[in-house]
Structure 1
Amino acid sequence: MKVLVASSYFPPHFIGGAEIIAHHQATAMAARGHEVRVFAGDISRQIPGYSIREDLFDGLPVTRIALRTRDFDATGNNLAHPEVERHFERLISRWRPDVIHAHHLVGLSLGILRIARAHGIRVVLTLHDHWGFCANSTRITHTGALCTDSSRCHECVPGFQSGPLHLPQRFRQGYLRWQLQSVDRFISPSRYLADAYTANGFPSDRLHVVANGIDLERFAGISPCGPSSRLHLLFIGYMGPHKGVPTLLQALRQLPPERFHVDFVGDGHARASYEAELARLAPDLSVRFWGRLPNAGIAERLAQAHVLLLPSTCPENQPVTITEAMASGLPVVASRIGGVPELVEHGVTGLLAAPGDAAALAACLHHYLEQPDDLAAHGRAGRERIRPYAFERQIGQLETLLAAPALPPQPSPPLVACHGAPDAEADAALRTEFASSPIQPLWLPASWLGPQPADLLWVSGPERDDPALARQRIDSYRRANRPVVLDERYRSVARNVTGVLIARGPLQSALAQKTLLLMPKRMDGTGPGESP
């Protein structure tokens, strides 16, 4: 089987949990005799133009696309890069993989999914977080609360910049959902994440729960830290609020400083402020901030710790740090959120606290001072609990899913291609008009759609310096017998076209779109404006 792994990042550049898993699974599939290549982004060079570079990493051929930090910016276009898609299409035309195994794709380009499908290549996508329905990927809103309604993404990220246009968030979400309809099978490492995607409209029959797996042998030789006058705590993760670092700092403030030592491993935008804040809150606490460490360095920290900490305020999937700590015989103190309780059983393999509750977190840590025997007991139970997650067992399930035959295309809601940039008033009118509608279309930029027409073209004002392109798109849709809604503010176009519905104002534009999309299909199966 020829497997092409696609990932926004790939080692040795920017190694996070998703990249570690992508690398381990790719090398394991190669070890089983499959041909494996990698198609990945590369921000190490920070050069424009999306140039490619071929190299080998751990025996795997890797095609690396030069990306820049701005390609990942949620306030910009981090989904559709035609240059990346052209490189991808040339690669699959030359190499002809049997299946694409995709991981994170934000920053790279989601268009590779439909391109693969058009070439008759199966697509399997492993989910690592909430990026498929959450603009922030964390389910944490701009107010710091846990989001329970993904239809309100615009409240956190109202829109994004695509070239000269500022587009509403619904275009990003619509494009995401449209592209992800090309996936044959989704793999979720946790039941929690699978259920979260199902609750957000993804097909449950295409979601498969398969743990990431862990190389137990790699951690078998690690012995937890022996008795000490101080309890050694270890945090491994991104230095940002969604990992619960502010909560941890407040919890450490409540503990006797002479009884604890804390190691922080990881980097992030808030690291410097956290170092200063902890020095202010607990000036007598023994602490060290290590920054990013290689795998060998992380293993050393695990061997010097009594307890692993992960006080996340965002729902975690299946944190690599927790599985590695459990395989090392460490108890885990973490938040009761997301997929964490599937790994950490309270009072058995560690202790759980409510996310954001510093007092409860401090109480969990104080428990191990009062009940030191639980350190060894919980560590042993964790090692036993993680045994079914052995990497070889999980890779067998992955291999089966990658080899499974392609599935029929997923049904799609109506597509609305938009030329222009709707303003906030027009976007609000769509929310109002379609709030209780029996259809929920997907809106996306016309330039991201490719050559195939959507179910409806919406030319949204005010008029820009592109009337010729607007007329070209209108003519294309009319030739395909697809309806067109034209904002009257495109005055030079409205004066010279026929066969389109000209809308006056945002409410009329939204109503026109809903009316046209709800028109019943004719006996020949075609809808409004369609040819039999």
Structure 2
Amino acid sequence: MNHIVIASHEFPPRIGGAGVVARDLATSLARGGRRVTIITCYASSLVGMFRKHMVFEELDGYRVIRIPVYKGMWFLSYPYMLNNVLPDDCDLLVFNDVAISYLNDKYRDLTVVHYLHGKERYLRYSGFIKSTLLSFDRIFRKNLNNADYIICVSEFIKGWLVNTNVLNNKDKIKVLENRIDTSLFYKAEEIPVRYKLSLEGHVLISASRLVEGKGYERMLRLFNEMVQEGCNDLKWIVVGDGDYRNQFETNISDLGLDDKVLCIGRVDREKLLYLYSQADLFWLLSDFEEAFPLVYKEAIACGLPALGNDLGGVREVISHGVDGFVCSNDADVKALILDRTYCNLTGIRGVTNFDDTKFGKDFIELICSHEK
């Protein structure tokens, strides 16, 4: 495969799991000697979108081409611009998310891969505009069936896709777990002075987008109950930002927990490593059916036990009783924290010997090991 193109609606600086995977895959492939191009978008004015002004960048050994998109009108940009920027020598096209594949099902001479990062909402659309007029669900089903391979990030997502019965050939579904960059996440032996926190007691930490559904309302209730039951040495670091942050901080103050819960907003990865290294437990009780939530694995790589909600692909990331626990009810969560059960886990160890080309190698091997 001479030239691999990854088409991804989401890509840094726009944050999100699918965008991070696209970046990490492109970086790994490029470092392994592959020629790689990313086709993504940038926020544009309506005039800029109709003028089709492209932006070209060179990043970490690969090329990035950005298509102008005005607000949420990607379905007007991608069908008419992707063809114009797709390199002529592309021989492997990876649709990293569904949006950018809209109306683009004509690449019969290429190997086409669809990368699924979660339960795709386009399969469940209804209503006149989204389902009847724009036909999101019908077109996505057609694109999946036309693809040569479908890569799912977890067995959970593969099982969900199989159960939808939208595929004529289920044998083309493959699973490739997302990787973490262990040059960024590892057990730090020393904490730089500028990253040290003045926290005494037993420290919990969470990191994610602060939005409803991520479990913060439930976690705050449980945290308050544990404090009220006499566990006064508990502290909680909350890393992240989002629409729910203001309400969350108000709730903290209303409960009188300002001295025990520290919201520090979004931080870069370097600081996150050192924050993890000063905590005793990572916990995140998301209500979402996360496909393959890497945040737990990143914490575990830093030497932290992880505690997650028993939904989605969490059990594929946390080895229950080895490097953390997966719980479904409040009583178990509280018992694990109050009894410090996780302090005796033996399966947690820092990760070393990071191979920054392995993700790309595994991806290529997965494609090449099955004939088209």
TM-score using structure 1 length: 0.61
For residue 158 of structure 2, the aligned residue among 194, 209, 212 is 194
Cα gap change, 1:230 to 1:130, in 2 (>3 Å):
same
Q: 1:211·1:389 contact (CA, 8 Å) conserved in 2?
A: no
Unmatched runs of 5 consecutive residues or more in structure 1: 72-77, 136-149, 408-532
Q: Give the drift of 1:232.
A: 1.4
Alignment of 1:48-127 (within 5 A): 48-49=49-50, 51-71=53-73, 80-81=75-76, 83-92=77-86, 94-106=87-99, 108-112=100-104, 114-115=105-106, 117-118=107-108, 120-127=109-116
2:351 is equivalent to residue 399 of structure 1:
no
CA distance in 2, matches of 1:44, 1:301: 36
2:118 is equivalent to residue 129 of structure 1:
yes
For residue 216 of structure 1, the aligned residue among 169, 182, 188 is 182
Q: 1:27·1:60 contact (CA, 8 Å) conserved in 2?
A: yes
User: Counterpart in 2 of 1:426?
Assistant: none
- AA in 2 matched with 1:236: A
Q: 1:7·1:39 contact (CA, 8 Å) conserved in 2?
A: yes
Residues 250-285 of structure 1: CA deviation (Å, up to 9, x unaligned): 211212263222122222222211221222235355
CA distance in 1, matches of 2:82, 2:103: 9
CA distance in 1, matches of 2:45, 2:187: 37
Q: Give the drift of 1:393.
A: 4.2
Q: Which SS does the other structure have where 1:61 is aligned?
A: strand
Alignment of 1:205-354 (within 5 A): 205-223=171-189, 229-256=200-227, 258-283=232-257, 285-354=259-328
RMSD: 3.1
TM-score using structure 2 length: 0.85
User: Counterpart in 2 of 1:4?
Assistant: 5
2:2 is equivalent to residue 30 of structure 1:
no
CA distance in 2, matches of 1:218, 1:360: 32
Cα gap change, 1:340 to 1:45, in 2 (>3 Å):
farther
Q: Give the drift of 1:66.
A: 2.2
User: Counterpart in 2 of 1:452?
Assistant: none
CA distance in 2, matches of 1:358, 1:224: 35
User: Counterpart in 2 of 1:450?
Assistant: none
Q: 1:250·1:358 contact (CA, 8 Å) conserved in 2?
A: no
Whose radius of gyration is greater, 1 or 2? 1
Cα gap change, 1:130 to 1:19, in 2 (>3 Å):
same
Residues 132-158 of structure 1: CA deviation (Å, up to 9, x unaligned): xx35xxxxxxxxxxxxxx7xx46xxx5
Alignment of 1:148-159 (within 5 A): 153=124, 158-159=126-127
CA distance in 2, matches of 1:308, 1:44: 38
Aligned identity (percent) is 22
User: Counterpart in 2 of 1:367?
Assistant: 339
CA distance in 2, matches of 1:169, 1:265: 41
Cα gap change, 1:125 to 1:109, in 2 (>3 Å):
closer
User: Counterpart in 2 of 1:425?
Assistant: none
Q: Give the drift of 1:53.
A: 0.8
CA distance in 2, matches of 1:282, 1:308: 23
Q: 1:237·1:266 contact (CA, 8 Å) conserved in 2?
A: yes
Q: Looking at both structures, which has the greater relative contact order when contacts are Cα pairs under 8 Å and sequence separation is at least 6?
A: 2
Cα gap change, 1:259 to 1:397, in 2 (>3 Å):
same
CA distance in 2, matches of 1:249, 1:160: 40
2:127 is equivalent to residue 179 of structure 1:
no
Cα gap change, 1:351 to 1:391, in 2 (>3 Å):
farther
